[in-house]
Chain A
Amino acid sequence: MDLELSESELAFQAEARAWLTANVPSEPLPSMDTPEGWALHQEWEARLAADRWSVVSWPKEYHGREASLVEWVVFEEEYYRAGAPGRVSQNGIFLLAPILFEHGTREQQDRFLPTMATGERIWAQCWSEPEAGSDLASLRSTARRDDERGGWVLNGQKIWCSRAALAHWGFGLFRSDPTARKHAGLTYFLFPLDADGVTVRPIAQLDGEAGFAEVFFDDVFVPDSDVLGAPGDGWRVAMSTAGNERGLSLRSPGRFTAAADRLLALYDERPDPRLADRVVDAWIKAEAYRLYTWGTVTRLAQGGDVGAAGSVNKVWWSELDVALHETALDLLGPDAELDSRWLDGYLFSLSGPIYAGTNEIQRNIVAERILGLPREPKGTPS
Chain B
Amino acid sequence: MRFELTTDQQDFASALDALLAASDPVGVARAWAQGDHAPGTRLWERLAEQGLTMLATDATSVEVCVAFEALGRHAVPGPWVESAAYLPVALGAEVEGIATVAAPPHTPYALDADVADAVYVAGPDGLRTATVGDGLVSVDRTRRLFAVTAGELVAGVPGAAAPGQDAAFDLAALATAAQLLGAGERVLADAVGYVKQRRQFGREIGSYQAVKHKLADVRIALDFARPLLFGAALAPADSPRERARAVSAAKVACADAAYLASRTGLQVHGAIGYTEEFDLSLWLTRIRALVTAWGTPAFHRDRLLADLRSA
- Quick check: B206 and A374 within 8 Å, CB to CB? yes
- Quick check: A1 and B5 within 8 Å, CB to CB? yes
- How far, in angstroms, from A362 to B178 measured CA to CA in the complex? 27
- B residues in contact with A287, CB < 8 Å: 228, 231, 249
- How far, in angstroms, from A288 to B302 measured CA to CA in the complex? 18
**A335 located at the interface, meaning its Cβ lies under 8 Å from any Cβ of chain B in the complex:** no
**A70 located at the interface, meaning its Cβ lies under 8 Å from any Cβ of chain B in the complex:** yes
CB < 8 Å: which of A1, A3, A277, A280 contacts B6?
A1
B178 to chain A, nearest CB (A): 14
- What 1/0 mask marks residues of chain A from 351 to 382 whose CB sits below 8 Å from any chain B CB? 00000000010111011101111111100000
Contact A363:B217 (CB < 8 A) given known A1-B62, A376-B208: yes
CB < 8 Å: which of B188, B195, B219, B301 contacts A280?
B301
- Quick check: A377 and B1 within 8 Å, CB to CB? no
CB < 8 Å: which of B212, B298, B304 contacts A284?
B304
Q: Residue of B at shortest CB range from A264?
A: B308
- How far, in angstroms, from A371 to B234 measured CA to CA in the complex? 29
**A268 located at the interface, meaning its Cβ lies under 8 Å from any Cβ of chain B in the complex:** yes
- CB contacts under 8 Å to B, within A278-296, are 279-281, 283-285, 287-289, 291-292, 294-295
- B residues in contact with A268, CB < 8 Å: 309
CB < 8 Å: which of B1, B3, B305 contacts A279?
B305
- Quick check: B253 and A363 within 8 Å, CB to CB? no
**B42 located at the interface, meaning its Cβ lies under 8 Å from any Cβ of chain A in the complex:** no
- How far, in angstroms, from A360 to B208 measured CA to CA in the complex? 13
- A residues in contact with B188, CB < 8 Å: 371
- CB contacts under 8 Å to B, within A1-36, are 1-6, 9
CB < 8 Å: which of A277, A297, A375 contacts B301?
A277
- How far, in angstroms, from A70 to B2 measured CA to CA in the complex? 10
- B residues in contact with A363, CB < 8 Å: 209, 212-213, 216-217
> How many of chain A's residues touch chain B, expressed as a range?
35 or more
**B207 located at the interface, meaning its Cβ lies under 8 Å from any Cβ of chain A in the complex:** yes
A311 to chain B, nearest CB (A): 8
- Quick check: B228 and A376 within 8 Å, CB to CB? no
**A239 located at the interface, meaning its Cβ lies under 8 Å from any Cβ of chain B in the complex:** no
CB < 8 Å: which of B1, B9, B216, B234 contacts A366?
B216
A314 to chain B, nearest CB (A): 10
CB < 8 Å: which of B5, B192, B231, B298 contacts A371?
B192
- Quick check: B301 and A276 within 8 Å, CB to CB? yes
- How far, in angstroms, from A4 to B215 measured CA to CA in the complex? 34
**B225 located at the interface, meaning its Cβ lies under 8 Å from any Cβ of chain A in the complex:** yes
**A315 located at the interface, meaning its Cβ lies under 8 Å from any Cβ of chain B in the complex:** yes
- How far, in angstroms, from A290 to B3 measured CA to CA in the complex? 11
- Quick check: B207 and A373 within 8 Å, CB to CB? yes
CB < 8 Å: which of A288, A294, A316, A375 contacts B207?
A375
A265 to chain B, nearest CB (A): 10
- Quick check: B192 and A373 within 8 Å, CB to CB? yes
- A residues in contact with B305, CB < 8 Å: 276, 279-280, 283
- How far, in angstroms, from A288 to B177 measured CA to CA in the complex? 14
- A residues in contact with B217, CB < 8 Å: 315, 363
- Quick check: B220 and A316 within 8 Å, CB to CB? yes
- What 1/0 mask marks residues of chain B from 212 to 246 whose CB sits below 8 Å from any chain A CB? 11011101100111011011001000000000000
- Quick check: A9 and B1 within 8 Å, CB to CB? yes
- Quick check: A295 and B227 within 8 Å, CB to CB? yes
**B252 located at the interface, meaning its Cβ lies under 8 Å from any Cβ of chain A in the complex:** yes
**A298 located at the interface, meaning its Cβ lies under 8 Å from any Cβ of chain B in the complex:** yes
A381 to chain B, nearest CB (A): 19
**B46 located at the interface, meaning its Cβ lies under 8 Å from any Cβ of chain A in the complex:** no
**A137 located at the interface, meaning its Cβ lies under 8 Å from any Cβ of chain B in the complex:** no
- What 1/0 mask marks residues of chain B from 165 to 209 whose CB sits below 8 Å from any chain A CB? 000000000000000000000001000100110000001101111
- What 1/0 mask marks residues of chain B from 1 to 45 whose CB sits below 8 Å from any chain A CB? 111111001000000000000000000000000000000000000
- Quick check: B309 and A267 within 8 Å, CB to CB? yes
**A299 located at the interface, meaning its Cβ lies under 8 Å from any Cβ of chain B in the complex:** yes
A356 to chain B, nearest CB (A): 16
- Quick check: A298 and B219 within 8 Å, CB to CB? no
A330 to chain B, nearest CB (A): 16
- How far, in angstroms, from A70 to B3 measured CA to CA in the complex? 11
Contact A294:B1 (CB < 8 A) given known A281-B301, A363-B213, A371-B216: yes
25 A-B pairs in the complex with CB atoms less than 8 angstroms apart: A1-B6, A1-B230, A1-B234, A2-B3, A3-B1, A3-B234, A5-B1, A264-B309, A283-B249, A287-B231, A288-B228, A295-B3, A297-B1, A312-B220, A315-B217, A360-B213, A363-B213, A364-B216, A366-B216, A366-B219, A371-B188, A372-B192, A373-B212, A374-B206, A377-B207
Chain A residues with CB under 8 Å of chain B are 1-6, 9, 70, 264, 267-268, 276-277, 279-281, 283-285, 287-289, 291-292, 294-295, 297-299, 309, 312, 315-316, 360, 362-364, 366-368, 370-377
